[in-house]
C-alpha cells in the first residue's frame, strides 16, 4: 500500500485530494496548523483522515511514497519544518497540482480559469458531463451536494479542473493551472487579482497568456469578452467561442430570464437551450452560460444540458442559503475578489428588492491586505444596507506602509455607502446582530478564506436557532 503525507491537509482542495487518494487505496496521513475549524475538521474526521495539529519534524513518515505540500503552509512560513525535513530525507515532495497532473488530468482536459466564477463553472461542467454518462475526473475548490466530493479520480478520458493562477508551491513557481494540460479552456475574467504575487496588471495578464499558449490547435477557448482582455484572446491558435450575460454580439448569451420564488427561468439565444436554475443572480446566469457554451461545443445532448442545469443544487458557501431563522434569511458566500462581492450583493438585491440586507465581510485573503487595492472596493457594497467589516490581520512580510487596516477599508467603502463599520471581535458582531437585525432582514456572511470566519458563522447560526 502506498503512503501519502499531506502538509496542510485542512485546505479545501488538499483535504479533498487526500480523500481521493484514500479512496484509491492509499494510506493517507497529514498535518496542519493548530486549531482546525469546521467544516474541514468535520470533513477530515468523517472521512477517516488522521492528522497532526501543528507542524513538527517528527510528524513526517520516513517511509512516505509521496509528500504533498499545500500552498498556504509555505506562504505562512517558507521554512516550514515538515517541508524542510521531507526534503532532507530525500522523499518525493510535490505540490497538489503536480499530483493532479499525474493522476487526474486526462486527454480531454477542461480547465476553468479566471479571476472569479471558476468554482461554480467547474462544478456545473462536471455535473453536465456526469449526467451525460462521461464519468469525468474533476477537481474544484468548492463542493456541490450533487457531486459530493471536491476531487474525484476515475478511469474516464475526461477531466474538469478549476485552474488557479496562484503559484503551485513557492512564489517563484509556475501557476497551478500550468500543470493541467488544457485542451479546452474556459476563461471567465482577467481582472487584476493577487497583488501579493502579481505586482501589477501586466504580470497578472502574462500568466494567462502562458496558459492560453498551452492550448493545442484542435482545442477550444471559451471566453467572456466583457471581462477578458481581448489581446490575450487573440493569441490563441485554436477555435474561440464567446459567451456573456446579455451581450448579443457573443456566440452564447442569455436572451431572457425571469424570477419565480427561488428559481430563475432563462432562455439562451441558441435553439432548444432553456432551463430553470436554483442559483441566484445575474453572475450565476453568466456562469451557467459559460458551462452551457462549453457543453454545447462538446456536442452534449441539449436535453441533458437543460436537465443537468435544472437539477444542479449549487455550491456550498457560494451564495448558499442557510435557512430562515427568527424571521431572518441567512446566506453564506465565498467572495475573495471585490467584483464577486458586488455580484453576490446584486443577486441578493434582485431577489430581495425591499428587504434590508446586512453584510458581514471577512477581508482575510492575503491579496486584500495591501493598501494598493483599496480603490477596488469603491461602490462594491452599494446593494447592502449595512456592512460590518471583520478583523483585518496583517502579514509580517508586508511592509508597514503597504498594509491595509480595517479603518482603511471602511474609509474606502464609505465613499459610496455610509452604513459601514469595523468590528474585529466575534462577540461584538454577534451582539450587534442580536440587537439590530429585524424580521425579514437578509444576513449574508462573505468570506475571503478565513477559517475563523467559518467558526463565527456557526456561532451566529446556533445563537439564532435558540
- Give residue 34's pLDDT: 87
pLDDT band for position 453 (50/70/90)?
Answer: low
Domains of the chain and CATH, by start: 3-98 (3.40.50.720), 104-311 (3.40.1190.10), 320-465 (3.90.190.20)
Question: Which cell is 21 given?
Answer: 487518494
- The region of weakest confidence among 163-167, 206-210, 300-304, 317-321 is 317-321
**What pLDDT is recorded for position 450?**
59
Residue 107 pLDDT greater than 80, yes or no: yes
d(CA 93, CA 331): 39
From the number of C-beta atoms within 10 Å of its C-beta (0-12, 13-18, 19+), residue 175 rates as buried
What number is the average pLDDT over the span 194-208?
A: 92
* Residue 45: how many other CB atoms lie within 10 Å: 13
Over 80: is that where the pLDDT of 40 sits? yes
% of residues, the chain, pLDDT over 70:
98
Residue 97 confidence (pLDDT): 95
> Which pLDDT belongs to residue 466?
65
At 42 the pLDDT is 86
CA–CA dist 189, 143 (Å, integer) = 22
| pLDDT at residue 438 in the model | 94
Amino acid at each position: 500500500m502506498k503512503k501519502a503525507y499531506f502538509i496542510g491537509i485542512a485546505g479545501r482542495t488538499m483535504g479533498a485530494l487526500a480523500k481521493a487518494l484514500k479512496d484509491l487505496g492509499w494510506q493517507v496521513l497529514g498535518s496542519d496548523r493548530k486549531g482546525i475549524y469546521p467544516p474541514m475538521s468535520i470533513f477530515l474526521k468523517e472521512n477517516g483522515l488522521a492528522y497532526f495539529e501543528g507542524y513538527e519534524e517528527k510528524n513526517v513518515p520516513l517511509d512516505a511514497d509521496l509528500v504533498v505540500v499545500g500552498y498556504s503552509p509555505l506562504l505562512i512560513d517558507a521554512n516550514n519544518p515538515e517541508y524542510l525535513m521531507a526534503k532532507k530525507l530525500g522523499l518525493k515532495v510535490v505540490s497538489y497540482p503536480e499530483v493532479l497532473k499525474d493522476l487526474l488530468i486526462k486527454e480531454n482536459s477542461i480547465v476553468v480559469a479566471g479571476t472569479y466564477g471558476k468554482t461554480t463553472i467547474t462544478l456545473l461542467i462536471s455535473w453536465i458531463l456526469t449526467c451525460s454518462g462521461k464519468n469525468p475526473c474533476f477537481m474544484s475548490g468548492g463542493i456541490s451536494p450533487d457531486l459530493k466530493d471536491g476531487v474525484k479520480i476515475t478511469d474516464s478520458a475526461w477531466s474538469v479542473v478549476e485552474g488557479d493562477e496562484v503559484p503551485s508551491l513557492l512564489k517563484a513557481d509556475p501557476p497551478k493551472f500550468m500543470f493541467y494540460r488544457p485542451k479546452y479552456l474556459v476563461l471567465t475574467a482577467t481582472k487584476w487579482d493577487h497583488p501579493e504575487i502579481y505586482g501589477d496588471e501586466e504580470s497578472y495578464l502574462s500568466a494567462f497568456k502562458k496558459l492560453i499558449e498551452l492550448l493545442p490547435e484542435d482545442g477550444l477557448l471559451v471566453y467572456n469578452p466583457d471581462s477578458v482582455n481581448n489581446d490575450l484572446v487573440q493569441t490563441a491558435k485554436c477555435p474561440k467561442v464567446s459567451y456573456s450575460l446579455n451581450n448579443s454580439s457573443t456566440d452564447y448569451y442569455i436572451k431572457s430570464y425571469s424570477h419565480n420564488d427561488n428559481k430563475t427561468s432563462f432562455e439562451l439565444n441558441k435553439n432548444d437551450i432553456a432551463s430553470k436554475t436554483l442559483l441566484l443572480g445575474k453572475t450565476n446566469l453568466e456562469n451557467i452560460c459559460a458551462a452551457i457554451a462549453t457543453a454545447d461545443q462538446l456536442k452534449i445532448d441539449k436535453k441533458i444540458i437543460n436537465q443537468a442545469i435544472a437539477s444542479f443544487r449549487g455550491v456550498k458557501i457560494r451564495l448558499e442559503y442557510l435557512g430562515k431563522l427568527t424571521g431572518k434569511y441567512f446566506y453564506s458566500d465565498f467572495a475573495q475578489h471585490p467584483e464577486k462581492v458586488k455580484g453576490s450583493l446584486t443577486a441578493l438585491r434582485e431577489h430581495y428588492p425591499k428587504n434590508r440586507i446586512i453584510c458581514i465581510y471577512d477581508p482575510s485573503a492575503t491579496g486584500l491586505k495591501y493598501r494598493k487595492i483599496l480603490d477596488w472596493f469603491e461602490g462594491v457594497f452599494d446593494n447592502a444596507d449595512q456592512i460590518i467589516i471583520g478583523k483585518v490581520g496583517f502579514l509580517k512580510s508586508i511592509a508597514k506602509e503597504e498594509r491595509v487596516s480595517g479603518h482603511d477599508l471602511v474609509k474606502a467603502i464609505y465613499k459610496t455607502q455610509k452604513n459601514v463599520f469595523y468590528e474585529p471581535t466575534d462577540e461584538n458582531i454577534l451582539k450587534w446582530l442580536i440587537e439590530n437585525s429585524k424580521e425579514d432582514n437578509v444576513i449574508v456572511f462573505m468570506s475571503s478564506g478565513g477559517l475563523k470566519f467559518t467558526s463565527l458563522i456557526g456561532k451566529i447560526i446556533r445563537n439564532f436557532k435558540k
